[in-house]
Amino acid sequence: MVAQENVNPPSPEECRALADVAATVAIEAGRLIVEERPRDLGVASTKSSVVDVVTVMDQRSQDLLSRRLAELRPEDGFFGEEKGGRIGTSQITWVVDPIDGTVNYLYDIPAFAVSVAAVVGDVTVPGAWRPVAGAVVNPSTGECFRAQLGGGASVQVGDGPTRELRVAAPDRCEVALVGTGFGYVSTRRAHQAAVLTHVLPSVRDIRRIGSAALDLCHVADGALDGYYEKGLNAWDMAAGWLVVTEAGGVIGDGAGGAPTSDLVIAAGEPLHGQLAELVVSAVRRVGPEPG
Ligand code: IPD
Ligand code: CA
């Protein structure tokens, strides 16, 4: 296994260039999914369960991202949620979610995003990779969240002014607004619901927005105080992870490691430890997920 600490990050200048590329292609894909959304958009196929849907636009968005990144960065690898990936010859792999919040997209609820991240390390091995640049675009609001390693995180709406992002700073769970999400498989959902019954009484409230990438960006801009979820894939979290940390937040697996599909917990520094303790103790009380 390649430990992420052993992978040399690109220079600050290269990270900035990578973030420019991420933002450019994410904005293009965001425009595509809004402008070319079929009137009769339906479910093209399903994945892990009947509620884990794919629309024609998920694949079209990924194809656009794949083609544009091959033009702009031909030596890099490509790894996305839908079909089609490639191994690169550089140290960079692009990790993309062509539509994060696909169910919102299907129902025309304006909380879906295109997420594009440049990462180093082995993206197929939990804990062995990390993002160095990324962008998350919500095409319904025009927001483009972006971050580069060591260079801060910002948001820009269309051609408007750029605003630096900073996480909120509540220091107790009782006053924290916390986002979370649910997987697509029924047994996982039942487990997540049981964990939630132990978390909900101890926080200000819970939000289930429906896009993990946007949840993480909302932690970065202080619209959410914290976020946790079990079962995320690399493409859900890669860009949002860096947006959180570059906005001064902390993200991890609740046990001192990098975020993985086992658990992602994100919040500002004062809250992170408490939220991690709350979620991890709730998981302990509920017991392991069946299967
Ligand atoms: C999903 C969303 C959702 C989260 C799920 C993800 P998708 O991604 O990010 O908020 O709760 O875990 O799978 O399927 O819309 O790309
Ligand atoms: Ca996703």
* pLDDT of 4 above 60: no
b (16+ CB within 10 A) / e for 109-119: eebbbbbbbbb
List residues bridging with 288 in a β-sheet: none
DSSP state of 175: G
pLDDT of residue 6: 57
* Domain covering 4-164 in this structure, CATH number: 3.30.540.10
Mean pLDDT (whole number) for 46-53: 81
Instruction: Report the pLDDT averaged over residues 139-146.
Output: 98
- What is the per-residue pLDDT for 157? 98
pLDDT digits (tens, 9 = 90+) for 56-101: 899 999 999 999 999 999 999 999 998 889 999 999 999 999 999 9
Pairing of β 226-229 and β 177-180: parallel
- What is the chain's percent helix, strand, coil content, to nearest 5? 35, 25, 40
Could you tell me if 198 and 286 are in contact, meaning their C-beta atoms sit under 8 angstroms apart? yes
Ligand showing the shortest atom-to-Cα distance for residue 215: 1
* Mean pLDDT of the region 257-277: 96
For residues 17-26, average pLDDT: 98
* Probe target for ligand 1 pocket from 65, 185, 236, 241, with the most ligand atoms within 8 Å of CB: 236
- Atom in ligand 1 nearest the alpha carbon of residue 104: 15
Residue to mutate, 211, 235, 289, ligand 1, most ligand atoms under 8 Å from C-beta: 211
Q: Give Cβ neighbours of residue 202 (< 8 Å, ≥ 6 apart).
A: 173, 174, 278
Length reported for the chain:
291
Where residue 51 falls among pLDDT bands split at 50, 70, 90? confident
Indicate which ligand has the atom closest to the C-alpha of 211: 1
Residue of 260, 257, 259, 254 lying closest to 274 (CA atoms): 254
Structure-derived torsion over alpha carbons of residues 77, 248, 277, 128, reported in degrees to the nearest 10:
20
Residue-wise pLDDT tens digits, 89-140: 999 999 999 999 999 999 999 999 999 999 999 999 999 999 999 999 999 9
Q: Which amino acid, 111?
A: A
- Residue 45's pLDDT band (boundaries 50, 70, 90)? confident
DSSP H or E run through 212: helix 212-220
State pLDDT tens for residues 204-216. Answer: 999 999 999 999 9
Q: What pLDDT is attached to residue 73?
A: 98
CATH 3.30.420.40: does it fit domain 173-286?
no
Q: Is 210 left (phi over 0), alpha (psi -120 to 50) or beta?
A: left
* CA of residue 193 relative to chain centroid, distance: 21
Written as one letter, the residue type at 171 is: D
Nearest to 251 by CA among 210, 138, 240: 240
Q: pLDDT class for 44, splitting at 50, 70, 90?
A: confident
**Position with higher pLDDT, 93 vs 41:** 93
42 confidence band (pLDDT: 50, 70, 90): confident
Whole-number pLDDT of residue 72:
98
* CB within 8 Å of 160: residues ≥ 6 apart: none
CA distances 140 to 32, 33, 137, 170, Å, are: 12, 10, 9, 29
Region for 108 from its dihedrals, namely left if φ exceeds 0, alpha if ψ lies in -120 to 50, beta otherwise: left
Q: What mean pLDDT do residues 256-260 have?
A: 96
Taking the domains of the chain in order of start, what are their residue ranges? 4-164, 173-286
- Confidence at residue 47, expressed as pLDDT on a 0 to 100 scale: 81
The confidence score (pLDDT) of residue 52 equals 77
pLDDT of the residue at 1: 32
Q: Which residues line ligand 1 (CB under 6 A)?
A: 81, 97, 100-102, 181-183, 210-212, 229, 231-232, 236
Mean pLDDT for the chain overall = 95
Residue 291 has pLDDT above 80, yes or no: no
Q: Which ligand is nearest to the CA of 101?
A: 1
- Residue 3 has what pLDDT? 45
